[in-house]
Amino acid sequence: MQNLINDIGRERFRAEFSMYYAGIIYLLILNRISCGFTREEMAFLMG
């Protein structure tokens, strides 16, 4: 039973983290559009 509870917690963390990551990517793309970052600068920022 404890394994089941831990797995649910991990899945929720993954979902929250992926939404957080998607938000960061979205903001980086908006900054590129508004501030005029080059493709190379954007690749550096995204890792």
- Quote the pLDDT of residue 1: 46
Per the model's pLDDT, the better-predicted residue between 6 and 46 turns out to be 46
Tally of structural domains, the chain = 1
pLDDT tens string 2-44: 455 556 667 766 767 788 888 888 888 887 778 777 778 777 8
Full domain range(s) for residue 18: 2-46
Give the DSSP letter string of 6-42. HHHHHHHHHHHHHHHHHHHHHHHHHHHHHHT--HHHH
- Quote the pLDDT of residue 9: 65
